[in-house]
Amino acid sequence: AQSVTQLDSHVSVSEGTPVLLRCNYSSSYSPSLFWYVQHPNKGLQLLLKYTSAATLVKGINGFEAEFKKSETSFHLTKPSAHMSDAAEYFCVVKNRDDKIIFGKGTRLHILP
Amino acid sequence: NAGVTQTPKFQVLKTGQSMTLQCAQDMNHEYMSWYRQDPGMGLRLIHYSVGAGITDQGEVPNGYNVSRSTTEDFPLRLLSAAPSQTSVYFCASRRGQGIAGNTIYFGEGSWLTVV
């Protein structure tokens, strides 16, 4: 069965330091993988997606993620955190059967 | 381009009342779905539709009904509201099945409190 595990429910970083949000998945097929961001009281916005092209995917607002098949991981990174990055982040996997699974989310806190 | 529009944004209901959350999309997407979001549980699928006239149950369908009479609209009905249905509800849409990597578009959410 497919699943998505976001390894940290909360991550705190100082402004200007790197961000790492971890996501592991299990899938029987080559999946499509997404990261979404949700700011307080807002809907979910697509940050980036992987669809079996380049394994390093660049998204909006300076975020990027690397698909590592051997590690079944799709971690989200950003070189330098900004206060506006404080939000909840969701890792999402979609298989060829079109079933979509959401991770439980990681809340990112930015310390001044 | 409006995308996915949900109404209302906030609603307070009394136990036993019924109501309908409206969802409309203007992207001609075949696939629409309703999720509920609860703390620490991510998003859970309530119902979904792969096209007009076709609906199916998701992970947590009990207490909810849906219909899909047009491609654009996918309302969610709470039949007899219960406090356990206090949650944030998101409508989502995307292009049809079998398209790798097709982006899921979300509405802004509906905050529902049942007292």
Which of B45, B90, B98 lies closest to A44 in CB terms?
B90
pLDDT of residue B68: 97
Q: How confident is the model at residue B24 (pLDDT cuts 50, 70, 90)?
A: very high
Element (H, E) at A20: strand A19-21
The arithmetic mean of pLDDT across residues B10-16, rounded, is: 96
Selected residue with higher pLDDT from B90 and A96: B90
pLDDT of residue B106: 92
Q: Give the pair of three-digit tokens for residue A37.
A: 């961001």
DSSP label at residue B103: P
Chain A CB contacts of B43 below 8 Å: 44, 90, 102
- Cβ proximity of B4 and B28 under 8 Å: no
Which residue of A lies nearest to B96 if distances are taken between CA atoms? A98
Chain A CB contacts of B2 below 8 Å: none
pLDDT at B69 over 80: yes
Phi, psi of A19 (to 5 degrees): -115, 135
Reference A78, options A88, A90, A64, A92; nearest CA is A64
Considering only CA atoms, give the Rg of chain B: 13
| pLDDT-wise least confident of A22-26, A69-73, B70-74, B101-105 | B101-105
Q: Please give the distance of CA A54 from its chain centroid, rounded to a whole number.
A: 16
Please give, rounded to a whole number of angstroms, the shortest distance from the CA of A41 to a CA of chain B: 8
Please give, rounded to a whole number of angstroms, the shortest distance from the CA of A79 to a CA of chain B: 25
Gap between the Cα atoms of B66 and B106, Å rounded: 17
For chain A, residues with pLDDT lower than 70 are: 1
How does the average pLDDT of chain B come out, rounded? 92
- Cβ proximity of B78 and B19 under 8 Å: yes
Element (H, E) at B34: strand B31-37
pLDDT of residue B1: 60
Which residue type occupies B51? Answer: G
Q: Give the pair of three-digit tokens for residue A19.
A: 């961000």
Residues 18-57 on A with a CB inside 8 Å of B are: 32, 34, 36, 41-46, 49-52
pLDDT of residue B100: 57
- Cβ proximity of B45 and B88 under 8 Å: no
Q: How confident is the model at residue B97 (pLDDT cuts 50, 70, 90)?
A: low
What separation in angstroms does the CA of A73 have from each of A33, A37, A91, B8, B104?
Answer: 10, 18, 10, 37, 21
pLDDT of residue B101: 57
Chain A CB contacts of B35 below 8 Å: 102
Instruction: Verify whether the Cβ–Cβ distance A49 to B98 is below 8 Å.
Output: no
Chain B CB contacts of A98 below 8 Å: 97-98
- Cβ proximity of A84 and B21 under 8 Å: no
3-state SS class at A40: coil
Q: How confident is the model at residue B98 (pLDDT cuts 50, 70, 90)?
A: low
Contacts of A64 (CB under 8 A, 6+ apart): A48, A56, A57, A58, A76, A77, A78
pLDDT at B111 over 90: yes
Instruction: Verify whether the Cβ–Cβ distance B106 to A43 is below 8 Å.
Output: yes
| pLDDT-wise least confident of A37-46, B36-45, B90-99 | B90-99
pLDDT of residue A104: 92
pLDDT at B14 over 90: yes
Residues 63-82 on B with a CB inside 8 Å of A are: none
